[in-house]
């Protein structure tokens, strides 16, 4: 069952197949996605490839952060696209208009839900009272990126967080979800999410400070 | 702004989050894109095959109703066979044109195989009609 549609994403500069001009950033990205999907649903592989090239990088990036595994993130992103190809008729005509969503938003939500499902199946998102917070892994990840910039350092620090903290931070600060939405996704209360975020931010701030000192 | 927010701001955490969110992700691997395109071609082919089969069934039902009645045995009409062949060819060309090299050939072969399987299904349906009609 396809998840409900949601907000749109900013377009990027990925190439389009012949006959479809690439939209400039900030204009027409949703329309281009819809056009590519319509052509892909008719069996035009070039359109499917172009749509994947436009949207997959961001999906793989967020899935990698949520799952902590790049190869598994690609599996999830491919599954999200497979579901999109199957749901393609829902994006045409009244169905899409009624949903008021976009292809990009649909893909993001599907990818996120697939990641959370995988983490739940492994018990890595168990309720807080059932599974005590694991001890923080060694902060050696940051040491490997001393020469990198601040964003790279933060990315490495996020990857080293415990599962639930990493997911909460990714959904809140990189996916833009509100705390109640995160609470629903994780199956915990809003206060628990606030606690997870507070602990994660403290850890990340400390590691960024250490990174800064290392570079000075 | 809470004390914690101020602390995050002072530590550069807010700015780092903004930089990370704005950083362009790496391009998806070519093999990943090939796999997605092959998936899309397969789904489109399945949808087309199902639509063709449903269309034939609906036409037959409209003509003869639900009863298994004797009627001249015709099998698929030349026109429906031609349409199915054209659709299959279109999917194969679409798949092969989307991909380069070995991946494109593989996708085209997959599409062709699925098309032939679809044609087999149509043929089996026609043979079943013939059996029922001969026995009635």
CATH of residue A147:
1.10.10.10
Query: CB neighbours (10 Å) of residue B97?
Result: 15
- pLDDT, residue A20, reads 44
Burial A25-50 (b: 16+ CB within 10 A, else e): eeeebbebbbbbbebbbbbbbbbbbb
**How would DSSP label each residue in B48-84?**
HHHHHHHHHHHHHHHHH-SS--------S-HHHHHHH
Whether A57 and B15 lie within 8 Å, measured CB to CB: no
Over 70: is that where the pLDDT of A104 sits? yes
CA distance B126 to chain A (A): 27
Domain housing A62:
29-121
pLDDT tens column, B38-50: 999 999 988 887 7
Average pLDDT over residues A43-64: 94
This prediction has a pTM of 0.62
Residues A107 and A160 in one domain: no
- pLDDT, residue B109, reads 58
* CA pair distance A139, A210, nearest whole angstrom: 10
Domain endpoint, select from A56, A91, A121: A121
Which of the four pLDDT bands, split at 50, 70 and 90, describes residue B23? Answer: confident
CB pairs < 8 Å spanning A and B: 130
Over 50: is that where the pLDDT of A124 sits? yes
Which residues in chain B are closer than 8 Å to A53, comparing Cβ atoms? Answer: 27-28, 33
- pLDDT, residue A81, reads 97
Average pLDDT over residues B121-136: 43
Q: Does A148 reside within a domain? A: yes
The whole-chain average pLDDT of chain A stands at 78
Over 70: is that where the pLDDT of A141 sits? no
CATH of residue A65:
1.10.1740.10
Domain endpoint, select from A121, A154, A185: A121
**How would DSSP label each residue in B74-136?**
--S-HHHHHHHHHHHHHHHHHHHHHS-HHHHHHHHHHHHHHHHHHHHHHHHHHHHHHHHHHH-
H or E segment to which residue A104 belongs: helix A103-121
Q: Does A12 reside within a domain? A: no
CA distance A100 to chain B (A): 24
Which residues in chain B are closer than 8 Å to A12, comparing Cβ atoms? Answer: 24
A188 inside 8 A of chain B by CB = no
Question: How many domains is chain A built from?
Answer: 2
A205 inside 8 A of chain B by CB = yes
What are the backbone angles phi and psi of residue B89, rounded to the nearest 5°?
-65, -40
Whether A154 and B41 lie within 8 Å, measured CB to CB: no
Residues A86 and A152 in one domain: no
pLDDT tens column, A17-48: 444 434 433 445 788 999 999 999 988 989 99
Cα B40–chain centre separation: 6
ipTM for this prediction: 0.71
pLDDT tens column, B77-121: 555 555 555 555 555 555 555 545 555 555 555 555 555 555 554
Whether B37 and A60 lie within 8 Å, measured CB to CB: no
Which of the four pLDDT bands, split at 50, 70 and 90, describes residue A185? Answer: confident
Q: Does A7 reside within a domain? A: no
Residues A40 and A106 in one domain: yes
């Amino acid at each position: 069952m396809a998840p409900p549609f949601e907000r749109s994403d900013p377009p990027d500069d990925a190439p389009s197949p012949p006959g479809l001009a690439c939209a400039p950033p900030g204009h027409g990205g949703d329309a281009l996605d819809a056009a590519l999907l319509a052509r892909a649903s008719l069996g035009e592989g070039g359109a499917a490839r172009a749509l994947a090239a436009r949207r997959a990088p961001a999906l793989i990036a967020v899935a990698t952060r949520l799952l902590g595994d790049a190869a598994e993130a690609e599996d999830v992103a491919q599954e999200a696209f497979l579901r999109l190809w199957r749901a393609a008729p829902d994006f045409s005509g009244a169905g899409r208009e009624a949903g008021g969503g976009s292809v990009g938003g649909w893909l993001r939500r599907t990818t996120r839900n697939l990641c959370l499902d995988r983490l739940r199946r492994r018990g890595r998102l168990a309720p807080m009272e059932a599974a005590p917070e694991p001890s923080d892994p060694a902060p050696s990840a940051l040491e490997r990126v001393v020469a990198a910039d601040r964003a790279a350092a933060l990315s490495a620090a996020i990857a080293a967080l415990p599962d639930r903290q990493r997911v909460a931070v990714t959904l809140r600060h990189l996916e833009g979800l509100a705390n109640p939405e995160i609470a629903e996704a994780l199956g915990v209360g809003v206060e628990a999410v606030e606690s997870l975020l507070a602990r994660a931010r403290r850890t990340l701030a400390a590691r960024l400070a250490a990174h800064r000192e290392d570079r000075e | 702004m809470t004390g914690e927010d101020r602390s995050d701001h002072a530590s550069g955490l807010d700015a780092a989050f903004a930089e990370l969110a704005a950083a362009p992700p790496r391009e998806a691997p070519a093999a990943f894109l090939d796999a997605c395109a092959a998936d899309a071609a397969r789904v489109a082919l399945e949808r087309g095959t199902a639509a063709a089969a449903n269309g034939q069934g609906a036409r037959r039902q409209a003509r003869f109703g639900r009863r298994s009645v004797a009627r001249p045995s015709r099998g698929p009409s030349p026109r429906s066979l031609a349409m199915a062949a054209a659709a299959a060819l279109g999917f194969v060309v679409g798949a092969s044109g989307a991909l380069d090299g070995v991946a494109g050939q593989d996708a085209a072969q997959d599409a062709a195989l699925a098309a032939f399987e679809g044609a087999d299904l149509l043929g089996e349906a026609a043979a079943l009609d013939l059996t029922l009609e001969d026995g009635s």
